[in-house]
Each structure stands twice: as C-alpha cells, then as structure tokens.
Amino acid sequence: MIDKDDHIISMLLYNTHDSDMTYQRPDKTTYVCQIRKNKPNTFFIPQTQLELPLNLPKPPQLTKLIDPPWKDTLKKYYGDKWELKSNPNLLPHESN
C-alpha cells in the first residue's frame, strides 16, 4: 500500500516496536500505517474534524415568557390563588 511517491509527514513513536506513520500522497490525501510488534501493519484514513461555519443566524427570541408545565397543573387542581406553604412537621432532607 505504501507507494514510493508517498512521503511521511508525521511519525508517532510509542516505543521501539510500535509506531504510527502518516503518509501523504502526491494528490495531498493522507493515510496512516500502524506498525505493531508481532502483528501485520494496519492502514487507515485518518478522520478529519468537521468545521462548522461560525456566522450562524441568531436563534429567534421568545416574545413572552413560558410558564413551566407544573404551574398549569397546580392551577388546574388548586385554582389561580394557590400559595406554596412550608410544613414545619417535615424533617429536613439530607444528601450524602
């Protein structure tokens, strides 16, 4: 798989027996040769990072605040004038 026109553009040497060699072909494509002791050489194409455009449009602004769903449920069962009241008989919650 390694052609004589392919040039090594980077080497990653892990130890005396294991290394990764990145080759570049004349058409600028790259591939990696993994060399491992007592195993056949493995070839693969390196993954490239996806570049997203940074000039994305701004998300739409909400025109009114949306009440959380639990508020509608409390209004449904207790009416519009419900109030949150503390219960002094409850033990405090302890987290570990």
pLDDT for 70: 63
Q: Work out how many domains the chain is built from and give that number.
A: 1
Q: Does residue 39 lie within any of the structural domains?
A: yes
Q: What is the pLDDT of residue 32?
A: 92
What pLDDT does 71 receive? 63
In-domain check, residue 31: yes
Q: Is residue 20 part of a domain?
A: yes
Domain of residue 16, residue span: 7-44
Does the residue 29 lie in any domain? Answer: yes
pLDDT tens per residue, range 42-59: 998 887 777 777 887 887
What one-character-per-residue DSSP string does 25-92 give? -TTS-EEEEEE-TTS--EEEPPP-PPPPPS-PPPPPPPSSPPPPHHHHHHHHHH-TT------TTSPP
Residue given tokens 């553009």 in the structure block:
9
Q: Mean pLDDT of all residues in the chain?
A: 82
Specify if 37 maps to a domain: yes
Q: Is pLDDT of 69 > 70? A: no
Q: Which amino acid is at 7?
A: H
pLDDT digits (tens, 9 = 90+) for 3-37: 888 888 989 999 989 999 999 999 988 999 999 99
